[in-house]
Structure 1
Amino acid sequence: MGVEVSVSGLTKSFGSQNIWRDVSLTLPTGEVSALLGPSGTGKSVFLKTLIGLLHPEQGSVIVDGTDITQCSAKELYEIRKLFGVLFQDGALFGSMSLFDNIAFPLREHTKKKEDEVRDIVMEKIDLVGLTGAEDKLPGEISGGMRKRAGLARALVLDPQIILCDEPDSGLDPVRTAYISQLLIDINAQIDATVLVVTHNINIARTIPDNIGMLFRKELVMFGPREVLLTSEQPVVKQFLSGDRFGPIGMSEEKDSAVAAQEEAMAAAGISGGGTKDDFTEIIPQVQPNPGMPERKAIARHRQRVLELLPTLPPDAQEAVRRGMAEEDEIRAENRARDHSGLVPDDAPTAPLRVVGGRTQSV
């Protein structure tokens, strides 16, 4: 089972350059969370701070009851065993084969025999679709393949906390769908706490239980995805729609003259180029593959959303209720399919995606 990660008053700078300040949030036990934000807002820095690779100037990061900003090096070493981390560039050892890269945590942190190591590594290699490439060096494969190898290594110890820095970077849409589904299936199997940094709005709308957003050195919002997806906060709406008109500019601090010019263009009916998707609709989350257990996080997350529901605007409340009803219908259909025997326990399954409120095989 995953563990809670509680961040309070976190501030990080490099010299005189402040990255973000007074960041406070809690990654709920066993839930999937996503962190959004424009490029350069310190999302990767945040992940590295969570595992103690970077030390903040202020604040605390409490993992399984231990504040890693204050603990000893020995305690930090033990805490890190709870984590599986997919870095943005894969972070593979260039002189090792993919097999040895993925096996590294097992050889470093366990006393498993080599035949056990091989079984586990080959299972993870198959999970991420790299069977047949295990003897290749990182320099001999594509960036997307390196990313998938990095994910296999992150999963090899069945971690309680999984951190993924842009897991879709370098992947085509189909592989992105598979990786997203894999994270949901892993969460269903071991109830791991997951944090995903992404720019992919489709992932943000369909994968996490919770969403946060960094902008201008601050955490703009963090909470159940239903709250953020129905938010009227200008920076959130602009980011989700991918529109150039709004608080986010090419540089982090948008020039006032540029902002005024864009406002005039918008008033004149000129498009900012963003998507016209209806973000008042809460698209149901991707569900675990047939034959997988139901996610334990669903009940915990649903309870929190119901408690927050009366505080949301009427339109948002209605959108959330519709989304919940669709999710309940999809889960009921999946349970009926599993119980009917239409999907044998040993049958290979294709990831399911939510399209128009219904699951479809990829």
Structure 2
Amino acid sequence: MGVEVEVEGMTKSFGRHEIWSDVSFTLPPGEVSALLGPSGTGKSVFLKCMVGLLRPERGRCVVAGVDTVSCSRHDLYEVRKHFGVLFQDGALFGSMTVYDNVAFPLREHTRKSERQIRDIVMDRMALVGLEGAEEKLPGEISGGMKKRAGLARALVLEPEILLCDEPDSGLDPVRTAYLSQLLIDINARLDTTILIVTHNINLARTVPDNVGMLFQRRLVGFGPRELMLTSDEPVIAQFLNGRRVGPIGMSEEKDAATAAAEQELAANGHSDGSTGEDMTALVRQLQPTPGVGTRRAVGRRMNRLAGQLKDLPPERREVVVRALQAEQAGAA
């Protein structure tokens, strides 16, 4: 089973420019989580801070009892073995075959024989649907195949935590759907803790067990999908509906006068740019492919959600319960 990641009070700046401040949340072990946010909110920077590629000015990120922010170089090297990372572009070596790209971490970080390496590599390539592509070079395969090869490489060391940096970037909707299903299947099979950084609304609504959102240098919220996807928090509701009306502007937060003017236009029937569909209504979460097995993460999330529901105001609790009932009816 994947391990828990506890983030507490993390703050990151580049010079005088603060990227985000006092970010705190816990990634539940063995569950799929998504970190959302408009472009430029520092989501990818956050992943780099988690694995120690960048160092935040303040805060902690505790993985298996080790704080990646303050630990020694040796301890950081060891704790990184818990992680697998899928980069936006796959980050494959252009001069290596797909097979050698996937085998690279095993050759670098283990003493396994080539026969053992081959067994692991072929298993992971089969898992991501790349059988038959072993001898191809990255330049000979599609963008979707590069993403899957990058995912296979991220999985060869059997990481307990998988970080995915905008896995849908550059993919068409069909390939994104396949990749989303693949992440669910990987979680069902390996019970890995997964964190997906994305701004893809459909992926955010259908894949993760937990959802968080960064905006204006702070974490707006983080929690089970049932709470976040029915949230009435203005930033979250605007983002998940793809609306112009709300706190999010083209490049930064809107001033009060602009936001008020847009709200008035919307109240008078002017289009807010959304599709008209209520995107904050719960849709059924993706299920594992038949034969893969069940996701233990779902039961753990539901147990945690049950404890949180009693702390909600009655009106809010009723909204979440109705949404859950509708989701369960749709799944029946």
TM-score, normalised relative to structure 1: 0.85
Equivalent position of 1:19 in the other structure: 19
Equivalent position of 2:227 in the other structure: 227
Q: Which amino acid aligns with 1:293?
A: G
Instruction: Render the CA deviation track for 1:50-107: whole Å, top value 9, x for unaligned.
Output: 1111101000010011111111111111111111110112222222222111111111
Equivalent position of 2:289 in the other structure: 289
Q: Structure 2: which 5+ residue stretches go unaligned?
A: none
Equivalent position of 1:269 in the other structure: 269
Q: Is residue 176 from structure 1 mapped to residue 176 from structure 2 by the alignment?
A: yes
Instruction: Render the CA deviation track for 1:170-214: whole Å, top value 9, x for unaligned.
Output: 222222222212211221222111101111212111111110000
Equivalent position of 2:146 in the other structure: 146
Q: Tell me, what secondary structure is at the counterpart of 1:45?
A: helix
Q: Is the 8 A contact 1:282 1:322 kept in 2?
A: no
The CA distance in 1 between the partners of 2:177 and 2:288, in whole Å, is 13
Instruction: Render the CA deviation track for 1:106-144: whole Å, top value 9, x for unaligned.
Output: 111222221222232223223323333332332333333
CA gap 1:257/1:222 in 2 versus in 1, 3 angstroms: same
The CA distance in 1 between the partners of 2:254 and 2:324, in whole Å, is 37
**Greater Cα shift, 219-228 or 150-159:** 150-159
The structural deviation recorded for 1:154 is 1.0
Q: Is the 8 A contact 1:147 1:170 kept in 2?
A: no
Q: Is residue 214 from structure 1 mapped to residue 211 from structure 2 by the alignment?
A: no
Q: Structure 1: which 5+ residue stretches go unaligned?
A: 330-356
The CA distance in 2 between the partners of 1:308 and 1:234, in whole Å, is 21
Q: Is the 8 A contact 1:230 1:316 kept in 2?
A: no
Q: Is the 8 A contact 2:237 2:280 kept in 1?
A: no
The structural deviation recorded for 1:321 is 3.4
CA gap 1:56/1:255 in 2 versus in 1, 3 angstroms: same
Q: Is the 8 A contact 1:280 1:319 kept in 2?
A: no
Q: Tell me, what secondary structure is at the counterpart of 1:81?
A: helix
The CA distance in 2 between the partners of 1:252 and 1:228, in whole Å, is 22
The CA distance in 2 between the partners of 1:143 and 1:57, in whole Å, is 36
1:293-304 equivalences under 5 Å are 293-304=293-304
Q: Is residue 78 from structure 1 mapped to residue 78 from structure 2 by the alignment?
A: yes
TM-score, normalised relative to structure 2: 0.93
Tell me the percent identity.
65
**Greater Cα shift, 22-31 or 308-317:** 308-317
* Number of residue equivalences: 332
CA gap 1:255/1:281 in 2 versus in 1, 3 angstroms: closer
The CA distance in 1 between the partners of 2:198 and 2:262, in whole Å, is 27
Q: Which amino acid aligns with 1:104?
A: F
**Greater Cα shift, 233-242 or 80-89:** 80-89
Q: Which amino acid aligns with 1:43?
A: K
The CA distance in 2 between the partners of 1:217 and 1:120, in whole Å, is 41
Instruction: Render the CA deviation track for 1:310-340: whole Å, top value 9, x for unaligned.
Output: 33455653454355456667xxxxxxxxxxx
Equivalent position of 1:352 in the other structure: none
